[in-house]
Structure 1
Amino acid sequence: MNVTRKGEKVEIIGAQPEVGAKAPDFSLGNLNDEVVNLSDFTGTPVLISVVPDIDTRICSLQTKRFNQEAANVEGVKFITISNNTKEEQANWCAAEGVDMEILHDTEGEFGEAYGLFIPAMGHLARSIFVIDKDGNIVYEVISAEISEEPDYATALEQAKAAR
């Protein structure tokens, strides 16, 4: 699959899971040195916001927006995933006052399972997944232009509907 970055075509390697399929489980570290598994949230809908690099403008905006929404949407677990290091994520969260669950995919487990790695950039593709309480993907979008913000409203509607 190809997307663009500021108009330049880049390739995403791997196959993305489809809507209706069971979401691939993963085990990633959080900022508290705990391992978080997707299966830990069985019974609760999950919105996964994937950003290429937490230290860039659009990724920062996306993460702050979902952090704000997490405080207002009950019954949905919000998670942001990037392949930044734990230290980069922790420094960014401290500077921005963000307290949502942020996971680091520095080994590429999530990127491989969800088919989101862009070798030319060394980052994950900007995307959003909504997983229902039974662990099935009910919404997924990979941004066609990764330097643009995603459609927050649709993702939030899908997350609320999954409750």
Structure 2
Amino acid sequence: MAQLTFKQNPVTLIGNEVKVGDQAPNFTVLANDLSEVTLNDSKGKVRLISVVPSIDTGVCDAQTRRFNEAASDLTNTVVLTVSVDLPFAQKRWCAAEGIEQVQTLSDHRDLSFGQAYGVAIKELRLLARAVFVINEKDEVVHAEYVKEVTDHPDYEEALKQAKNA
């Protein structure tokens, strides 16, 4: 796996890198009401999974807003934002910011998503910034691990892949 940095410092990622063509690994995360959510819960739909270190920071805020704005133009697609923020904080942030098209999910309990997709940062217990698109057959059709975690992902490429999935 390529080396990623956080504020220019190298970080160690836990888990396996997910590549285009792979079957998407399942995971268990928590919704804002503390119910468990898995990949299988959205089976038969395209999934755009936006991964952020913390929803309440500048780039993560912008990333979540960008995918929230684009969500209404995506047919048969579920947009998920995964972070290790507590579900309560995610719910509060979405309510305060008017985010309604994206489902925020918390990986704080087990790092299940982080390990399954190779985005758990060992040194910080945060998730690295990444975007995955999974088609209706649970195949990964787009996987971007942002090399510098504080940088933005390629929004246009992710949205193009979601539309074409």
Q: What is the TM-score normalised by the length of structure 2?
A: 0.93
Partner of 1:88: 89
Partner of 2:149: 146
Give me the whole-angstrom Cα distance separating, in 2, the residues matched to 1:39 and 1:138.
17
- The question of 1:111 aligning with 2:98 is answered no
Once the two structures are TM-superposed, the CA of residue 35 in structure 1 deviates from its matched residue by 2.1
Once the two structures are TM-superposed, the CA of residue 68 in structure 1 deviates from its matched residue by 0.8
| Residue segments in structure 2 that go unaligned for 5+ positions in a row | none
Equivalent residue runs for 1:2-151 within 5 Å:
2-99=3-100, 100-106=102-108, 107-151=110-154
Deviations 1:57-113 (A, max 9, x none): 100110111111112222211100001101111121121111221110012111111
Counterpart residue identity of residue 110, structure 1: F
Once the two structures are TM-superposed, the CA of residue 114 in structure 1 deviates from its matched residue by 1.0
Q: What is the TM-score normalised by the length of structure 1?
A: 0.94
Once the two structures are TM-superposed, the CA of residue 43 in structure 1 deviates from its matched residue by 1.5
Partner of 1:161: 164
Give me the whole-angstrom Cα distance separating, in 2, the residues matched to 1:120 and 1:27.
22
Once the two structures are TM-superposed, the CA of residue 55 in structure 1 deviates from its matched residue by 1.2
- The secondary structure found in structure 2 opposite 1:62 is helix
> What is the Cα-based RMSD across aligned positions, in Å?
1.2
Aligned pair count? 162
Give me the whole-angstrom Cα distance separating, in 1, the residues matched to 2:126 and 2:114.
9
Identical amino acids, percent of aligned pairs: 40
| Residue segments in structure 1 that go unaligned for 5+ positions in a row | none
